Amino acid sequence: MSDPTELPGESASGGARRGRGGGGGGREARRALRTGGGIKQRRFIERKLSPFEILSEEGLAIIEQNADIILEEVGIEFRDDAEALQILKEAGCDVEGERVRFPRGFCRKIIRENAPATFTQHARNPERSVTIGGNATVFAPVYGPPFVRDLNGERRYATIEDFQNLVKLAYMSPALHHSGGTVCEPVDVPVNKRHLDMVYSHIRYSDKPFMGSVTAPERAEDSVALAKIVFGDDFVENNTVMINLINANSPMTFDGTMLGALKVYARHNQAVIVTPFILSGAMAPCTPAGVMAQTLAEAMAGIALAQLVRPGAPCVFGSFASSMSMQSGAPTFGTPEPAMVLYGCAALARRLGIPFRSGGSLCGSKLPDAQAAYESAATLQPTVLGGVNFVLHAAGWLEGGLVSSFEKLVMDADQLGMMQTFAEGPDLSENGQAMDAIREVGPGQHFLGCAHTQANFETAFYRSNVADNNSYEQWLAEGSLDAAQRTNNLVRKMLEEYEAPVLDPAVDEALNSFIAKAKESMPDAFA
Amino acid sequence: MSDPTELPGESASGGARRGRGGGGGGREARRALRTGGGIKQRRFIERKLSPFEILSEEGLAIIEQNADIILEEVGIEFRDDAEALQILKEAGCDVEGERVRFPRGFCRKIIRENAPATFTQHARNPERSVTIGGNATVFAPVYGPPFVRDLNGERRYATIEDFQNLVKLAYMSPALHHSGGTVCEPVDVPVNKRHLDMVYSHIRYSDKPFMGSVTAPERAEDSVALAKIVFGDDFVENNTVMINLINANSPMTFDGTMLGALKVYARHNQAVIVTPFILSGAMAPCTPAGVMAQTLAEAMAGIALAQLVRPGAPCVFGSFASSMSMQSGAPTFGTPEPAMVLYGCAALARRLGIPFRSGGSLCGSKLPDAQAAYESAATLQPTVLGGVNFVLHAAGWLEGGLVSSFEKLVMDADQLGMMQTFAEGPDLSENGQAMDAIREVGPGQHFLGCAHTQANFETAFYRSNVADNNSYEQWLAEGSLDAAQRTNNLVRKMLEEYEAPVLDPAVDEALNSFIAKAKESMPDAFA
């Protein structure tokens, strides 16, 4: 059994810490840092740069005031969840049918007084545990697509094998700090049993932190039960080992399924990301400032409920906002308006004092082509510069989230690596200033052979595993492949070289036994 | 003859202003704003957002101090230009052979006391004149490639017809505010006559501002002479109608050709962009802080010379820095290190008090594929967020600057449009806040039909002309084209629809007559 007591980082969640608490140093730890293929995993990002701000203090105060007005005057609907309505009523909210109106300042006060500013999500490999919040940024892969574009270029429904392969690729990507959740929908597994295979795949094929199921309260309970087999009962109840995506049914509505999952996870001290999922112009106004206010209101309402369920439960303010095609009504990505929403909401989350989730490598393109890359970069840059803490869809997203792409996952992960290096900022040490080199070389000479270059060259520049920077002639000789074609080859090679992280056979057996029993108890369901 | 007296903007260059100075309002002006195909040209960007800062005050002071040390102790070589050495010596510099060492603070003082913080570059269509400096950002196309990747996908030497087509595409791209300079090298024209056809093409096929030739002092003089035919002698001498790229021969060297062109343009009050062109690790140290200090030193030395030649001549601090492939020694683009250099140098230029040039849509890719787009975006975002004032290579650059690409120009220009919208920031007006819409719609309903959405939908979201956001089925039915293939079709359509801007036939005749006479006086030269 993996020992979650060897935790190198600080536990910010305030939970009890078992055991030795050592740093896990030495050869074993270094080995644990490497994945199959000898790739060195990178720790989550600790940004050294201040976030880019798009709104002044005054502008942010306007948005906050508007969110308060929405909560107080318009209200939020909590559907099909009498318990949630009861909790909110007892806390002093005005409940009228399923509509809940919040006293002015109610949500902000509860959140600020209870929700942690940062927390640790523990991984079964303690070297891979992540901090969520503050100046930390954690990249997780794509979430939710029912389709994959497979390695033969076919777009088809996803399977559990695709799921496992995506988990393996994320495991082997040094700048993906997290294994994610529904990296694709394995539609070959019955819908009521799928969550078991998904959670198991994350545990078995990766040792990075992962997400639980939210598609029904009992599936959330199953996710917690599986986590307890890995981490131990007490540890799970007093720490955070899963982070879970609770989407609002915008505008201004939560449905019973999401509320049920939210309550389960909050009660077990597992993190919830409360995310208004907004196609601007359809589920919110078509202006960035309108989307920001509505997003803040919805997120605060959901997070306030979580804090009432268990004060101090780790919560993340989520925002997902896309623009819309005027031609087709389809969501569009990489446009300037969602970037504005992202920067604005990131600042609002900082003011609220809790972690923020948004962004990723979003795109509408059908293929991992230039459109996909432009659009993904136009979301990823704001994600990092805006200071997003937890980044779902950081790699692998295609076609507006309908498709998970193996190539795109690996291409995006390369970009994530660049952003991670960027976020560390320039080195201003004496070596970084390099004045010795300039003095040594002087006018008209070159720096290739000087001592400073020789000493630093290996690590001086980010090395992409996707980009081709060879001569035109060599590129021709190698088949004139575009980035997607080259990455297809790379993905095949990675999957061949994949080595599973060690998992205690007893834990594996216990997981499989739990899953078999749970599956036996239900008939298959596919809808 | 186009009338440069109808100048809608402010002349920041302090030069004399001829004539009526009216706003050029009314139907004619509106027509002048539209290019062939009915596209509405966008004015240069006036950024409403504060730039992203990567260095603290203390960090910037360290870089400045290092630049001062380079200028004082190491010095800069001014090669093959006795006049430049004489000017610098008379101004108090220590000249030893071709090596010039500057008294501490000398360059900064001359620049701060003389060089304008912002200036206007006039276009022959006054609606297209641009401000260089301050919170303005001006996008110009690719500069310098000897090759094109043509519309049949063939990579070959560029011709004057390619040059004209690139000028036409830039003219038709609303977010390209500038026609640029050597959009490709028309190698079918003798090298000693090429500049005449290039400058003429910018004047004839566009009405946006353009760049002059820098490949020899006499070609710079020819460029000025052509400009005088369009703008008038006095106007040119007292205003700025061309901006010109003076590269340092890094490390710490200027060559006679560039110095000659610099002096010509400065004397005629035309703008010079003094740009250390640096492949990090070869022409400068391999660390961002080292590149920044060396860039600042070199740029200040060149700009100080320009200010000694003509105090008040418009000058731009330029930076071009790439990283390097450890495999091939080739320049690499879109990596984090050059982005750091860009942000740092932009801040250094602000502290120096003069406009800044850097960035663009740089990439190493051979094709307009995902690599090209990721890399371009990874440079363009810092370009805009860092507050670059003049952006060469903003569109059309491929293969490390060896190739101009028609498709890439149009794809990049689409991204420029997005960045322009982004730079305007979110609308916080009552309409932007959209609280009426939120009140009208309420929980669980949709915003598509509400009054606010109906009133704003047309302009709510940036509309890409390159991205495909149709359904998968429709995309399949339309041939499953990737972004490059779709853009190829778009380029063909644009070139078919191109309409030349009006040019006074007398001016056209005078230009052609000057060019014919100049060409007659020289034998053809191809090297």
B415 touches chain A (CB under 8 A): yes
Closest residue in B to A334 (Cα–Cα): B418
Q: Is residue B524 over pLDDT 70?
A: yes
Secondary structure class of A420 (helix, strand, coil): helix
Where do runs of H (alpha helix) occur along A239-369? 256-267, 288-309, 336-352
Which of B272, B296, B18 has its CA nearest to residue A435?
A: B296
- Contact yes or no for B326 and A364 at CB 8 A: no
- pLDDT-derived band at B326, boundaries 50, 70, 90: confident
For B344, the closest of A332, A426, A457 (CB atoms) is: A426
Using CA atoms, how far apart are residues A283 and A291, in angstroms rounded to an integer? 9
- pLDDT-derived band at A510, boundaries 50, 70, 90: very high
Render pLDDT for A297-338 as a digit per residue (tens, 0 to 9).
999 999 999 999 999 999 999 999 999 987 778 999 999 999
User: A402-411, B319-328, B423-432: lowest mean pLDDT where?
Assistant: B319-328
Characterize the bridge pairing of strands B45-46 and B136-139: antiparallel
A208 phi/psi in degrees, rounded to 5: -85, 165
Render pLDDT for B27-86 as a digit per residue (tens, 0 to 9).
554 455 555 556 789 999 999 999 999 999 999 999 999 999 999 999 999 999 999 999
Residues A186 and A194 sit within 8 Å (Cβ to Cβ): yes
- Mean pLDDT score of chain B, rounded to an integer? 93
pTM, two decimals, is: 0.93
Render pLDDT for A455-469 as a digit per residue (tens, 0 to 9).
998 899 999 999 999
The pLDDT value given to residue A38 = 60
Render pLDDT for B365-423 as a digit per residue (tens, 0 to 9).
999 999 999 999 999 999 999 999 999 999 999 999 999 999 999 999 999 999 999 99
Mean pLDDT of B325-344: 93
Domains of chain A by range and CATH?
A: 57-424 (3.20.20.480)
A365 touches chain B (CB under 8 A): yes
B49 touches chain A (CB under 8 A): yes
For A75, the closest of B290, B325, B443 (CB atoms) is: B443
Mean pLDDT of B343-353: 98
Q: Is residue A453 over pLDDT 70?
A: yes
Residue B274: beta bridge partners?
A: B246, B317
Residues near A438 by beta carbon (within 8 Å), at least 6 away in sequence: B66, B70, B74, B251, B284, B285, B290, B293, B294
Sheet of strand B94-96: strand arrangement: B94-96, B99-101, B76-78, B253-254
Where do runs of H (alpha helix) occur along A388-482? 406-423, 430-433, 435-441, 451-460, 472-477
ipTM surpassing 0.90, yes or no? Answer: yes
Residues A277 and A314 sit within 8 Å (Cβ to Cβ): no
As a whole-number percent, the residues of chain B with pLDDT over 70 amount to: 93
Q: How far is B325 from chain A (nearest CA, A)?
A: 7
Q: Which two tokens stand for residue B197?
A: 């056809």
Q: How far is A430 from chain B (nearest CA, A)?
A: 10
Q: Which two tokens stand for residue A312?
A: 């101090």
Using CA atoms, how far apart are residues A240 and A272, in angstroms rounded to an integer? 10
The pLDDT value given to residue A526 = 76
**In chain A, residues 293-312 whose CB comes closer than 8 Å to chain B:** 293-294
B437 touches chain A (CB under 8 A): yes
The pLDDT value given to residue A326 = 75
For A469, the closest of B74, B325, B337 (CB atoms) is: B325
Mean pLDDT of B430-438: 98
Residues near B54 by beta carbon (within 8 Å), at least 6 away in sequence: A49, A425, A426, B340, B343, B344, B347
Q: Is residue A10 over pLDDT 60?
A: no
The pLDDT value given to residue A2 = 37
Radius of gyration in angstroms for the set of CA atoms belonging to chain A, rounded to a whole number: 23
Residues B265 and B217 sit within 8 Å (Cβ to Cβ): no
Render pLDDT for B181-192 as a digit per residue (tens, 0 to 9).
999 999 999 999
Residues near B347 by beta carbon (within 8 Å), at least 6 away in sequence: B51, B53, B54, B55, B60, B386
Using CA atoms, how far apart are residues B473 and B453, in angstroms rounded to an integer? 28
- pLDDT-derived band at B23, boundaries 50, 70, 90: very low
Residue A254: beta bridge partners?
A: A78
DSSP tag of A399: G
- pLDDT-derived band at A34, boundaries 50, 70, 90: low
- Mean pLDDT score of chain A, rounded to an integer? 93
Substitution target from A55, A148, A469, A470 for chain B, most B beta carbons within 10 A: A469
User: A35-39, A357-361, B215-219: lowest mean pLDDT where?
Assistant: A35-39
The pLDDT value given to residue B67 = 98
Residues B397 and B148 sit within 8 Å (Cβ to Cβ): no
Render pLDDT for B160-203 as a digit per residue (tens, 0 to 9).
999 999 999 999 999 999 999 999 999 999 999 999 999 999 99
Q: How far is B124 from chain A (nearest CA, A)?
A: 31
The pLDDT value given to residue B327 = 74
Mean pLDDT of B213-227: 97
Mean pLDDT of A496-523: 96
The pLDDT value given to residue A114 = 98
Render pLDDT for B473-492 as a digit per residue (tens, 0 to 9).
999 999 999 999 999 999 99
The pLDDT value given to residue A76 = 98
- Contact yes or no for B444 and A99 at CB 8 A: no
Spacing of C-alpha A119 from chain mean position: 14
